Amino acid sequence: MVARLFVTVMVVLAVGLLVCGVLGAVGSAGAAPSSAEGQSESGPPPVPAAVVTASPAVGAADVPPDAVPSVAVDHGRIADVSLVGSDGAAVPGTVSADGHRWTATGALAYDDTYTWSGHASAEAGGAVPIAGAFTTVTPDETTGAHVNIGDGDTVGVGAPIIVQFDHHVADKAAAERAMQVRTSVPTVGSWAWLDDDNGGSRAHWRPQNYWRPGTQVDVTVHQLGVDDGDGVWGRTDVTSQFTIGRSQIVRADVNSHQMVVITNGQESMNFPASYGLGSDPNRNTTNGIHVVMEKNQTVLMSNPKYHYENVPEHWAVRIENNGEFIHANPDTTGDQGSENVTHGCVNLSTDNAEQYFDTAIYGDPVEVTNSPIPLTPADGDISDWTVPWDQWVGMSALRA
């Protein structure tokens, strides 16, 4: 972060007649006699000169645009003040009730010059000008940030918050310090940084345990004016407000040949199912806590290694980016409840798949157990719940 410059600008009333008048008044009082001579004390001291303090200081350079400009006046009051960018647009601001301080309420921009104008009325009389300029930093590049959960969404109790950056974030600690998660009930959680093959960076936030249903969540990703390192600065701030919905957890024991759905602590569905063929490690349904990512009524599925391409499958709920879904498959209906024959997905009958599909939302946990092949980060974007909590906390840039 470019250091901010805070320099006190002393503006003393220097109008010739006014200065002479003050000096004349002092001079006319003469030297104060000593009490030993029995002479009276002198009159009240002169009113101090007005002092104007600007922040950022006049002449400051490379000011980050998240700085909050202000002007303060001692021994005087602000009469009028404006801060204007090079495009002529004024930065909005407010004056304190006592008239001693003006504070900006709007953001600055990158690569711009801002000019002060106005004046303060001094207690000693007269006007003190408020003038000068400062410039903001010019980044080599800027990066956008995106939150995966939108305003007003309702998500499941296993939903991670994912912040995707357009560029690689070199100073992850600076970026993480500028991100905040607030919850309506106390919730222990942590950010963790995950590798991103597309050249950007990803930060995930999840609670230590599943979210409490009904929790209100407020996410702020402050980026405007944040130096993310290597000449890349944040482009704009991003926020999201959403709600944790009911608790719905899928329990998928591959040896049971059943898929059980627990809603708000009670069994709501129990369907015959077929999981990945156990004799082929490449077809096993992976073990661990998956998360519902999205759902579509029809998905075209392909696996050239197993000689099928663009096969339409219906009532498909994605639980990982490695190609695992919970979906209808009439071709395996005879095996559902007795054998595992799939290519890694959880197969249900059409009616059962549609019934489950209608209830699934992003963030619902899908707990797959008794499979010999574990879910890993290599399988897709959301393997957060497979990471032990102590290890997860260590993936924070502020705790590593």
Active site residues: 327, 345
Neighbouring residues of 388: CB distance < 8 A, sequence distance ≥ 6: none
Residue in 196, 195, 197, 244 with CA at minimum distance from that of residue 219: 244
Q: What is the dihedral of CA 326, 331, 335, 339, to 10 degrees?
A: -60
How many CB atoms within 10 Å of residue 143? 21
Tokens of 165: 């950056």
Work out the number of other CB atoms within 10 angstroms of the CB of residue 303: 14
The answer to whether 314 and 347 are in contact (CB under 8 A) is: no
344: left (phi over 0), alpha (psi -120 to 50) or beta: left
Closest by CA position to 244, among listed 308, 161, 301: 161
1: Cβ contacts below 8 Å, ≥ 6 apart: 64, 174, 226, 227
The secondary element (H helix, E strand) that includes residue 390 is helix 389-394
- The two structure tokens encoding residue 180: 């905040």
Amino acid present at 393: V
Q: Which residues of 11-26 are buried (b: 16+ CB within 10 A; e: fewer)?
A: bebeeeeeeeebeeee
Distance CA 338, CA 274 (A): 7
